[in-house]
Structure 1
Amino acid sequence: MDKTCASAEEAVSQIPEGASLAVGGFGLSGVPMALIRALRNQGTGGLEVVSNNCGVDGWGLGELLSAGRIRRVIASYIGENKEFARQYLGGEIEVELTPQGTLAERLRAGGAGIPAFYTATGVGTMVSEGGLPWRYDAEGTVVAQSPAKETRVLDSLGSEREYVLETGIRTDFALVRAAKGDRHGNLVFERATRNFNPLAAMAGRYTIAEVDELVEPGEIDPDDVHLSGIFVDAVVALTPEEAADLPIEKVTVRDREEGN
């Protein structure tokens, strides 16, 4: 029942070339950096990544991206990652952009065994009608685009409206980060790290969690568990230095007002 691994390198060693990954994180919050770097150092490539975003230049999934290890991304936005935008517009990777709430529900649905669901988000746009550029060639011509999706008019609380069918997401592996975890894989997340990490963990067929603090089974109150260990297959305890590696995405400062 002890799911701990001695190192991040050991935990990711079974991830093969071309695997699909659900990766937790929200901006720079809750990103499984130790696992990402171990995977980068391992040399595994051809990856399909499902994540809220693809990190930033030089950090998070941006490290795998700049190393040329990612072939396809399902994400809610490109954000401020210049290398991500360059590779996408230059035809080096395929990108399926998905509304953020829809992406979260697709991950949750996949983990819950729900193959598809209807949502009103995206109806009447290219999200449902198709035509979103998935891949460009080197000259900037669209060579792959999203297909049209099934829509249906349904009654919701006495009012009929149109909904689009979205599919659940299941991936070969999931990489997540938690503030605390026990040897059985029960996890506790902190603040914004809870946005996508539990959903990514649910979507993976084999889920690896790195934790800032590793405790013994029973030390986490059952009412405090955010994700049951049933969804987690391996746990890696971070060193204090790794746990403290938390960059700030935007640093803003101003002069302190007199008297404060």
Structure 2
Amino acid sequence: MTLDKVVQRPADAVADIPNGAALAVGGFGLCGIPMVLIDALLAQGADELSVVSNNCGVDDWGLGLLLAAGRIRKMTSSYVGENREFARRYLTGELELELTPQGTLAEKLRAGGAGIAAFFTQTGVGTAVAEGGLPQRHAADGSVLVASEPKRVETFTVRGEPREFVLEEAITTDFALVHAAQGDAHGNLVFDKSARNFSPLAAMAGRVCIAEVEELVDVGDLDPDAIHLPGIFVDRVVVVGRDVEKRIERRTVREVN
């Protein structure tokens, strides 16, 4: 592997993503999403994708564009809201959904990147997450066609108290797509504030990580203590510039008189 990981065009960076690929995609809502790479993948034409991401964007932006084009077969997410097409496709059987608690999803991605096969967590114990029965695919008439299977539950003693934990398997994917504020040619990345969210974890989980960066700096310019994701996890870097469009999912401010 060359140390210079810069790819000149987004189209070239995603050119080898095949039909049926599994993708881990960074971002939370519309914050920190790799929109340029998503657009490039939309143009590239890959189909039947299995995507792991906190949510699926909105109807006209982010992963919602791939969904509206019918290119996503399955979503592994923690949140369905803000995207009517996501809900519609799920309820009519056009989309498979593995609904996962948000913290568990983050840890499944981190564990996959760290080479940990599975882990026990208290999250989901006593619910359908552990006991099974969560609808994963509906029939066209809205009935449940496929439901989640029960998961293994074990009791461990924590601080002298027996507690139940559910076994969750790690997630690894074929590719990962992330957006960063800064990066260098070796793939070291810095994310901007809350845009950091799921991105380092998604990057770790992907066997091939493709990062779009707003600013490419010289190798050595980044303070090692300020690097959020080391380049060992990154395979390709595409410079998209600081003027890349960023949308706000929901405004919560009021007008000042």
Unaligned runs of 5+ in 1: none
1:4 maps to 2:13: no
Q: How does 1:200-219 map to 2 (within 5 A)?
A: 200-219=202-221
TM-aligned CA distance change 1:160 to 1:185, over 3 Å: same
Q: How far, CA to CA, are the matches of 2:118 and 2:193 in structure 1?
A: 29
How far off is 1:255 after superposition?
4.0
Match 1:66 to one of 42, 65, 68: 68
Find the residue that maps to 2:238 and give its secondary structure: strand
Q: How does 1:80-91 map to 2 (within 5 A)?
A: 80-91=82-93
**Residue-by-residue CA offset, 1:127-158 (whole Å, 9 max, x unaligned):** 00000000001111111010000000001122
Q: Which residue of 2 aligns with 1:223?
A: 225
Q: Which residue of 2 aligns with 1:128?
A: 130
Q: Which residue of 1 aligns with 2:234?
A: 232
Find the residue that maps to 1:181 and give its secondary structure: strand
Q: How far, CA to CA, are the matches of 1:58 and 1:146 in structure 2?
A: 30
Q: How far, CA to CA, are the matches of 2:107 and 2:220 in structure 1?
A: 30
Number of equivalent positions: 255
Letter in 1 for 2:246: L
Letter in 1 for 2:151: K
**Residue-by-residue CA offset, 1:164-221 (whole Å, 9 max, x unaligned):** 0000000000000101000000000111111100000000000000001111110101
**Residue-by-residue CA offset, 1:41-79 (whole Å, 9 max, x unaligned):** 011110000000011111000000000000000000101
Q: Which residue of 1 aligns with 2:198?
A: 196
TM-aligned CA distance change 1:78 to 1:3, over 3 Å: same
Q: How far, CA to CA, are the matches of 2:234 and 2:113 in structure 1?
A: 12
1:174 maps to 2:176: yes
Match 1:137 to one of 136, 139, 154: 139
Q: How does 1:89-108 map to 2 (within 5 A)?
A: 89-108=91-110
Q: Which residue of 1 aligns with 2:256?
A: 256
Q: How far, CA to CA, are the matches of 2:202 and 2:106 in structure 1?
A: 8
Unaligned runs of 5+ in 2: none
Letter in 2 for 1:145: A
Q: How far, CA to CA, are the matches of 1:253 and 1:220 in structure 2?
A: 34
Find the residue that maps to 1:5 and give its secondary structure: coil
Q: Which residue of 2 aligns with 1:109?
A: 111
Letter in 2 for 1:66: A
Letter in 1 for 2:15: S
Instruction: Report the identity percentage.
Output: 62
Q: How far, CA to CA, are the matches of 2:215 and 2:191 in structure 1?
A: 11
TM-score (norm 2): 0.97
Match 1:51 to one of 41, 44, 53: 53
Letter in 2 for 1:130: G
**Residue-by-residue CA offset, 1:71-108 (whole Å, 9 max, x unaligned):** 00000010110000000001001000000000000000
